[in-house]
Amino acid sequence: MSTVRKSAARSNRMIISDKYRPTYGDDLPTLKKTLSCSLSGTSDVVGAYERALAEWFGASEAIAVSSGGAALSVALFAVGVQAGDDVLLTPSCPLCTAYPVIAAGANPVFVDTRVHGFGADPNAVRAAITARTKAIIDIPMWGYPTEVDELHTLARANGIKLVLDLAHSHGTTLHGRSLSHYGDLSCFSTHERKPLATGEGGFILTDNAGLAQRCRDYSRFGNLNGKDFGLNYKLAALPAALGHSRLSALAPQIEKRRQNVQYFMSKLENHKVREKKIISGGVPNYYFLNLELLFEKNGAFIDYLDESGIPSDIKRYGCKALYEFPVFEKYRRSCPNAEGLLASMTTIPVHPDITNEELDYMADHINAYHGA
Ligand SMILES: *Cc1c(COP(=O)(O)O)cnc(C)c1O
């Protein structure tokens, strides 16, 4: 075993891909069949996909939409967010979670995360709630579960709605249930980088029939009845068929990610690098493995990995608290935990295309780092 590892470290520089590419051959029969059906967003093909999604995730209803961003916009409308309302969210999420809040004419109010993870801190939430607060969005990052059960209780007690941005958290669970179980509305993306990939696409899950109807009506142009307002956020039939076809591969895909993490962690020997804490009762889907870094200069370590062909989402997206970006500067609030989390971590690709040789290569390079 150790000779294999040493030769991997000595061998030529690898470039590790952070993008999983499902083999499209498996999808061809479904796609071909779909071409003879209605291809619009009101096609039966989309209805069948929605029922399959609801079943897979254990939700009462699924509403397919054109993107993860669309899912957030539809959800904010459905829970009654209007111009001038406040929407609470953590600043450690990507820009694309916060833009729909701005698009709704609402105010993003940044609340800090917990010390150990990306879930919203209940004390920060309580302190930020005012008469204007309509909703809170919680964003479990890179597929690591957050304390959405506590947020559910807190939101209910304060008469506000809990929207979950689960854009890449397909299959992440808390106490044995999909995280989506705990949200009033849960938003997913099926962009091609996500665990369930249809190119572009998204969906919303809920157990609330009234909210489901509001999502459906709004995203279908208010069903064009001339009384209800809406916009066109429908998902077309072809990506719906692709999603339906790939749903059966989602569970084995997540299992392979877990195996990759287990293998990688068994090789990791650098005592300044460890896996980020997983909350009690939670199981990540391992969209990306999150490593907590204890170096003095974590940025230098991430640069070293990048130069070794090992990509980091932190570097790729320039992750920082959203109020550090010009567009959100005027919404700045102090969130030291979120800043600390983003400054002391990196991500490692563990998707099903990653080989043991690549996992060895990444572990060897991390183990060989002796910087401060
Ligand atoms: C990808 C992503 C989105 C946006 O999804 P799209 O389908 O690209 O619109 C929103 N939030 C998070 C957390 C994401 O990862």
167 lines ligand 1 (CB under 6 A): yes
Q: Which of 74, 141, 166, 191 to mutate to test the pocket of ligand 1 (most atoms within 8 A of CB)?
A: 191
| Helix pair 237-247, 44-57: axis angle to 10 deg | 30
How is residue 324 written in tokens?
């550090």
Give pLDDT tens digits along the chain (372 positions).
444 444 444 557 899 999 998 887 889 999 999 999 999 999 999 999 999 999 999 999 999 999 999 999 999 999 999 999 999 999 999 999 999 999 999 999 999 999 999 999 999 999 999 999 999 999 999 999 999 999 999 999 999 999 999 999 999 999 999 999 999 999 999 999 999 999 999 999 999 999 999 999 999 998 888 988 999 999 999 999 999 999 999 999 999 999 999 999 999 999 999 999 999 999 999 999 999 999 999 999 999 999 999 999 999 999 999 999 999 999 999 999 999 999 999 999 999 999 999 999 999 999 999 998
* Residue 93 CA, closest ligand 1 atom number: 13
CATH class held by domain 28-248:
alpha beta
Is residue 285 within 8 A of residue 169, CB to CB? The reply is yes
CA-nearest residue for atom 4, ligand 1, is 68
Mutating to test ligand 1, I would choose from 101, 165, 189 the residue with most ligand atoms within 8 A of its C-beta, which is: 189
**pLDDT tens-digit readout, 250-288:** 999 999 999 999 999 999 999 999 999 999 999 999 999
Query: Which residue minimizes the CA distance to atom 15 of ligand 1?
Result: 167
Q: CB-based burial of residue 218 (10 Å sphere; 0-12 exposed, 13-18 middle, 19+ buried)? A: buried
Q: What is the 3-state secondary structure (H, E, C) of 131-194?
A: CCEEEEEECCHHHCCCCHHHHHHHHHHCCCEEEEECCCCCCCEECCEEHHHHCCEEEEECCCCC
Distance from the CA of 96 to the center of ligand 1, in angstroms?
6
Sequence-distant (≥ 6) Cβ neighbours of residue 329 within 8 angstroms:
323
CATH for 249-368 (3.40.50.740, 1.10.3720.10, 3.40.630.30, 3.90.1150.10)? 3.90.1150.10
Query: pLDDT tens digits for 164-212?
Result: 999 999 999 999 999 999 999 999 999 999 999 999 999 999 999 999 9
Ligand 1 pocket mutation, candidates 73, 97, 198, criterion most atoms within 8 A of CB:
97
3-state secondary structure at position 61: strand
pTM of this prediction? Answer: 0.96
Domain residue ranges of the chain, discontinuous segments joined by +: 28-248, 249-368
